[in-house]
């Protein structure tokens, strides 16, 4: 899996932040970002994710990371 989990984590954080900013412009979820600008641009160009999509992505990420920790 390599570093895929980290990219997935960052993209999920941006998608959650985008959903929160749709409700309120003052979302404190992502304050600063110093990673690849294309990840942030990718999520900005996507349609808004609904709660089910965000939950499914979080569950998939949880499973992927737990596999990393397993022997």
pLDDT digits (tens, 9 = 90+) for 12-59: 999 998 998 888 877 777 778 888 999 999 999 999 999 999 999 999
Domain residue spans of the chain: 4-69
Using H for helix, E for strand and C for coil, what is the string for 11-70? HHHHHHHHHHHHHCCCCCCCCCCCCCHHHHHHHHHCCCCCHHHHHHHHHHHHHHHHHHHC
Task: Determine the pLDDT at residue 23.
Answer: 87
DSSP 1: -
pTM value?
A: 0.83
Q: How confident is the model at residue 71 (pLDDT cuts 50, 70, 90)?
A: low
DSSP 71: -
């Amino acid at each position: 899996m390599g570093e895929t989990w980290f990219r997935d984590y960052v993209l999920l954080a941006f998608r959650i932040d985008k959903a929160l900013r749709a409700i309120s412009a003052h979302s404190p979820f992502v304050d600063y970002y110093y990673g690849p600008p294309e990840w942030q641009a990718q999520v900005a160009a996507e349609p808004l994710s609904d709660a089910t999509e965000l939950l499914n992505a979080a569950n998939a990420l949880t499973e992927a990371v737990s596999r990393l920790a397993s022997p």
